[in-house]
Structure 1
Amino acid sequence: MKLTESTTLVTGATRGIGRELTRQLVACGAQVVAVGRDHDSLAALAAEHGDRVHPWPVDLAEPAAVDAFIHDVTNRHPTLSVVINNAGVQTLTDFLVDDPQALRPALRREIALNFDAVVALSTGLLPHLCRQPSAAIVTVTSGLALAPKRSAPVYCATKAAVRTFSRALRYQCEASAPHVRVIDAVMPLVDTDMTRGRGRGKISSSDAAAAMIGGISRDSTEIHIGKVRLLHALMRISPGLAYRILRDS
């Protein structure tokens, strides 16, 4: 997969890993369709990178907004060939302490953004991607999709769902559209706004983005980033130990 001179869609483009992906993709010659919710942050991103970044405000937790975006984006960007599903949110919850009814709106939004939007964008843009000479759908998941932590059950479940969805979609593309790669980028703990004040041993957003871009360029089907490589091996050898390690992370 050649990212140079590609047109790449990045969700969650104004913060954390998404912002670094945008910066590094522009540096290697790509055009970036930058999707985010905050108009001002998108405008600042576009001002930083000039005409190589195309800002597009979308609330990905709103299905109608996602559907409208899918309908419009390929008309404006007919050379779009890479979709990176990076946007996500994590809600810390303890269902035995917190009020489940009060949490429900936030959890539904978490599911909509982390999973429903990924399915909608990936499948909605797939017919267009199939018409490109070479294309890729990249989903950003997490080591927590392999072994969940107790403080964010819905987040872990959505990442596990995205991981399974990506594998099954990859099977379909391998059979009927082998020029469309479906790639799962499995993240360790990354130093972003979402993880502020949590955990130790984080990698930088810059390193996470660089590892993703390197894996996409190599046509990897799964990109195990940082300590996820060790976790993946541990899950084969001693899954019980992996669960214990991640449980209170």
Structure 2
Amino acid sequence: MTPNKKILITGATSGIGLALASRLHALGHGVIITGRRKALLDAATKAHPGMIGLQNDISDPAAIAALAVTLAKDHPDLSMVLHNAGIMKPERLGADATGLSISEETITTNLLGPIRLTHALMPLLLAQPKAAIVTVSSGLAFVPLAATPTYSATKAAIHSWTQALRWQLRDTGISVHELAPPAVQTDLMPGHATSPHAMPLGDFIDEVMAMLTADPVPEEILVERVGFLRRAEAEDRHAQTFQSLNANYRSLD
């Protein structure tokens, strides 16, 4: 990554987003973070003088369009977007089903949000000598968690969409990368922050930053721990891995 980039990170008021924003800000990059809750944005920017916070709801098409207008006007040098905003909620299908609204909200936030924002920012990114798009999928894009079927599906879709986008933009100045985390100790789901089965956030960020600051940045930003899921199909153990993953997650049974 070249120095002094202007970087937009969505959903960066906590967890992975805020941790990456803090590290990139410390390296001297101009960092803009978004989130729905103004109090959290204000706390983050107060703790990191010079960081910019813009309130935005990635599930709202009008808010995305307005954000793109603001960025083009106030930050015409924006050269990187990191699509971090996302939600992860358990669902039940069958006789004791949870509401369809969870599925629809997950698709709107995790899949339509990055797609809409990328479309809105494309003219701005194409205007830069070099730019980058970083999507955030998940190890669950490759081996789904049955307790979160729509979340897993949206991350598989993001993986596929990222590959296609990378190919379409291959002759432009925009590089396209995919960050696929394993389970990380954040508040994405209840219990994750203290789960012994999740990777400590600091360790995860250390590995990711080593790849983000490499030259070149890899197309897939994969910490060692996620390889078990990423390579499951290639190593002909997908069914075994699926069984093992889901046997260890029984909270909805």
TM-score, normalised with respect to structure 1: 0.92
| 8 A Cα contact 1:183 1:216, kept in partner | no
One-letter code aligned to 2:92: D
Deviation at 1:181, TM superposition (A): 1.0
Deviations 1:98-130 (A, max 9, x none): 445xx2223222111101011111222122112
Per the alignment, residue 18 of structure 1 pairs with 17
| 8 A Cα contact 1:10 1:84, kept in partner | yes
Q: How many residues align?
A: 243
Per the alignment, residue 109 of structure 1 pairs with 105
Q: The residue matched to 2:31 in structure 1 has which SS?
A: strand
Distance 1:245 1:236 in 2: 17
One-letter code aligned to 1:118: P
Deviations 1:154-200 (A, max 9, x none): 000000111100000000111x31x2110011110000012342553
One-letter code aligned to 1:65: A
Q: The residue matched to 1:195 in structure 2 has which SS?
A: coil
1:171 to 160, 167, 170: 167
**1:181 paired to 2:171:** no
| 8 A Cα contact 1:22 1:32, kept in partner | yes
| 8 A Cα contact 2:89 2:189, kept in partner | no
2:186 to 192, 217, 222: 192
| 8 A Cα contact 2:89 2:148, kept in partner | yes
Would you identify which runs of 4 or more consecutive aligned residues in structure 1 move more than 3 Å?
Answer: 97-100
Distance 1:5 1:97 in 2: 54
Relative to its length, the structure with more strand (as a share) is 1
Q: The residue matched to 1:13 in structure 2 has which SS?
A: coil
Q: What is the percentage of aligned positions where both structures have the same residue?
A: 31
Q: Structure 1 residues 61-70 or 228-237, which shifts more?
A: 228-237
**1:128 paired to 2:124:** yes
| 8 A Cα contact 2:140 2:229, kept in partner | no
Distance 2:123 2:207 in 1: 28
Deviation at 1:213, TM superposition (A): 2.9
1:160 to 153, 156, 160: 156
Distance 1:98 1:118 in 2: 31
Per the alignment, residue 205 of structure 1 pairs with 201
TM-score, normalised with respect to structure 2: 0.90
Per the alignment, residue 144 of structure 1 pairs with 140
Per the alignment, residue 30 of structure 1 pairs with 29
Distance 1:43 1:228 in 2: 33
Q: The residue matched to 1:187 in structure 2 has which SS?
A: coil
Q: The residue matched to 1:14 in structure 2 has which SS?
A: coil
Distance 2:156 2:19 in 1: 24
One-letter code aligned to 1:240: A
| 8 A Cα contact 2:143 2:232, kept in partner | no
Distance 1:112 1:214 in 2: 31
Deviation at 1:97, TM superposition (A): 4.5
- Unaligned stretches of 5+ in structure 1? none
- Unaligned stretches of 5+ in structure 2? none
1:227-238 equivalences in 2 (<5 Å): 227-237=225-235, 238=237
Per the alignment, residue 61 of structure 1 pairs with 59
One-letter code aligned to 2:15: G
Per the alignment, residue 75 of structure 1 pairs with 73
Q: The residue matched to 1:193 in structure 2 has which SS?
A: coil
One-letter code aligned to 1:43: D
Deviations 1:27-61 (A, max 9, x none): 1111111100000000011111112x111000111
